[in-house]
Structure 1
Amino acid sequence: MKLDKLKIAGITVIALLLFVSAAKASTNNSGLGFTVQGDLVSSYIWRGMYQTGASFQPTLGLNVAGFSFTVWGSTDFDGYQASEGLANKEIDMTAAYTFGNTGLTLSVADLWWAGQGANKFFNFKSKETAHHLEGGLAYTLPIEKFPLSMAWYTMFFGMDKNAEGRQNYSSYAELNFPFSVKRVGLNVTCGVVPYKALQYYTNSFAVTNVALKGTTEIKITDSFSLPIFAHAIWNPRLEDMHLVFGFTLKP
């Protein structure tokens, strides 16, 4: 019980730090922005692992002065089979703060992928909840011609338990390098799990996500273009390969 209280206190402190930092920054920058968009993908792959087939993935976001709050979801097309436990539904909420031009971003995310029909979304009891709370730290090199980014994510509360029922603190680290060739934006990803984690089906250090993503646009009219993308993903740990196609709808 004491440990749970300490975790809750830690989450509260982090949230307050994010809020205070955003409030201070907003005195110098009053810009407010919203994100409303949706992706349709041929299959949903998360950190190199297959989740479900064709899915629609909406995003609703708010950002101001370096602070952002984003709600992202994924729903497949098996909703009518919810009674059989076959419908995939995920809702992720992320609060993040980017520290000016330092390239450093701190985030706290609530990941929930219990699926349609699981209900009890607001159950946050440590041993019962279907939520995963995850802290993240990302950094992008301040080099225009070499914009390599690196990130580390650790689950610190919720459903991520080991065989003994204790918090496993499953972690995932990722490198990303964006570049472009003619009209195509490209991004190379390498993701690893540093130690044993049931979430990623690993018993030790493992490479789980090697990917190349290409993005371009199809011009529909003079004022509207449709962004499309293709994503080749290899999971060396599971010896699995995926090729995903999708497009994005946004204002």
Structure 2
Amino acid sequence: MKDMNRVKVTVIGVIAALAVNFMGVDKVQAQEFKIQGDLVSSYVWRGFYQTGVSFQPTLGFGIGGFALTAWGSTDFDGTSSSEGEAAKEIDLTAAYTFGDSGLTLSVASLWWAGQGSNKYFNFKSHETAHHFEAGLAYTLPLEKFPLSIAWYTMFAGADKNEKGEQNYSSYVELNYPFSIKSVDLNATCGFLPYEAGVGVYGVPNSGFAVTNLALKATKDIKVTDKFAIPIFAQAIWNPRMEDAHLVFGITLKP
């Protein structure tokens, strides 16, 4: 319990420090709100299948380099658990981008216990369903080669091994955005960098393992002169699981 209290104090401290950082600027920064929802044919996370057709809303607020984002996912078939409960995920993320350096630091609470679990506010170390994750991302300052790399590590919460100790499960992802004619594309390579037991990904990880090779294509479908609907398709391969997915999605936003 003391460890979990320290974790909560640490997370709160990081968020507070970031808030003080952006609130202390001399000039008034532009405030931005993000409201959108994605309808996807299936939910695949870091190369691992989660559930079927899902709706995934996003609510975000940004000012300066600081951003707070709430992201969720709820499926439609209600067959994602042995009890037949609908899958439900809520992720809260605080992130700070350091000017034009291309560097972003983030802290997130990932919660996917599902509809009906009713334990969202349980933060006890060995009982909580929250996974607390820290991330560090960097984008190369090259206009013609905007490659980004991100490292994420579960540092507290439900990611435990069989001894009840933190797994510190990590995931590394490289992304390269580019365009061909009027289609926006993004190539992804994601992998587990080291052994971390069964961990959060639900499979034995004996060491380095590539889990997410993907290509995503996005295009706006014009409805009127002032309104268009973005659609996307993503082909995903998971060499570690010898699995593959093809996901289609529609994005709704103001």
TM category (shorter chain) comes to: over 0.9
Deviation per CA, 1:106-156, whole angstroms, max 9, x where unpaired? Answer: 000000000011111111111000000100000001110000000000011
Matched, 1:241 2:244: yes
- Asked if 1 retains the 8 angstrom alpha-carbon contact of 2:4 and 2:123, the reply is no
Q: Taking structure 1 as the reference length, what is the TM-score of the superposition?
A: 0.95
Greater mean deviation of Cα atoms: 41-50 or 9-18: 9-18
Change (3 A) 1:81 1:4: closer
Aligned to 1:18: 18
Q: Distance in 1 between matches of 2:2 and 2:51?
A: 38
CA distance in 2, matches of 1:189, 1:249: 23
Per the alignment, residue 4 of structure 1 pairs with 4
SS in 1 for 2:55: strand
CA–CA distance in 1 between the matches of 2:51 and 2:104? Answer: 29
- Which residue of the partner structure matches residue 218 of structure 1? 221
- SS of 2:8 mapped into structure 1: helix
Deviations 1:4-52 (A, max 9, x none): 3443332233222211222124x33420010010000000000000000
Structure 1 residues 148 and 221: CA distance shift in structure 2, 3 A: same
Identity %: 65
TM-score (norm. length: structure 2) = 0.94
Q: 1:29-44 maps to which residues of 2 (within 5 A)? A: 29-44=28-43
Please name the residue that 2:147 is paired with: 148
CA distance in 1, matches of 2:186, 2:137: 16
Tell me the CA shift for residue 81 of structure 1: 9.0
Q: Tell me, which stretches of 5 or more residues in structure 1 are unaligned?
A: none
Q: How does 1:85-234 map to 2 (within 5 A)?
A: 85-197=84-196, 198=198, 199-200=200-201, 201=203, 202-234=205-237
Deviation string 1:52-81 (CA, Å, 9 cap, x unpaired) is 000000000000011100000000003499
Closer/same/farther in 2, CA of residues 80 and 135 from structure 1, 3 Å limit: closer
State the AA in 2 paired with 1:196.
E
Do 2:53 and 2:77's aligned partners in 1 also have CA atoms closer than 8 Å? no
Give the Å deviation of 1:241.
0.1
Structure 2: unaligned runs, 5 residues or longer: none
User: Does the 8 Å CA contact 2:51/2:80 hold for their aligned counterparts?
Assistant: no
